[in-house]
Amino acid sequence: MKSLKYLFCIFLLIACKSNKEPDNLLPEDAMTQLLVDLHLLEAKVNVKSISNTDSSQFVFEHFKADVFKKNQTDTATFRKSYNYYVGKQETFIKIYKQVVLSIKEIDSLERENEKAKNQLEMYLKSQKERRSVKDFRKQEYQKHKSYMDRQYIYPYY
């Protein structure tokens, strides 16, 4: 019974360890941006629907290194920061709410961009059609004019 109390106390001390801030902790905004980039990368890899899971994991890991380079950090710093923020639940929830908002904003901007691109393509297509009709009319006018010019210059030809 006595050893059970000691075992319980040791377990309690281990479970209540402090969530000490790591030396190279990523700030909340940098962590948010890094998570946004990682989730977007993951979505792009999933959309490409690479049939082999190992291949998709390889592609993800390859581009994940680029994401870390872009955000000027490394995997170890990310993991330490991630584990720290997981221990700080309110902060972690706040970070992920910002991640979700950022991804939604990017998605809406991409949809608007796609819509604008489609509208531009439709406009250019209509302009091309108008131009071809205009060119056709111009050619017909030139043919008609040259015919009429010949008729007036040499009426009794």
Question: Which whole number is the average pLDDT over 16-41?
Answer: 86
What is the per-residue burial (b if ≥16 Cβ within 10 Å, else e) of 37-65? bbeebeeebeeeeeeeeeebeebbeebbe
Residue 155: what pLDDT?
Answer: 55
Map tokens 């049939």 to a residue.
Answer: 51
Say if residue 21's pLDDT is above 90.
no
* Percent of all residues in the chain with a pLDDT value above 70, rounded to a whole number: 76
Residues whose CB is less than 8 angstroms from the CB of residue 81 and which lie 6 or more positions away in sequence, other chains included: 22, 24, 25, 26, 31
Q: Which pLDDT does position 50 carry in this prediction?
A: 65
pLDDT at residue 123, as a whole number? 83
pLDDT in tens, 43-60: 888 887 666 677 788 888
Q: Are 94 and 51 in contact (CB under 8 A)?
A: no
The answer to whether the CB of 29 falls within 8 A of the CB of 71 is no
pLDDT-derived band at 94, boundaries 50, 70, 90: very high
Q: Is the pTM of this model over 0.75?
A: no
User: Residue 21 — left, alpha, or beta (φ > 0 → left; ψ -120 to 50 → alpha)?
Assistant: beta
Residue corresponding to tokens 């790591």: 22
Residue 50, Ramachandran bin (φ over 0: left; ψ between -120 and 50: alpha; else beta): beta
pLDDT tens readout for residues 1-15: 555 565 554 554 555
What whole-number distance in Å separates Cα of residue 105 and Cα of residue 97? 12
- Residue 88, pLDDT > 60, answer yes
Closest by CA position to 32, among listed 60, 63, 61, 73 = 73
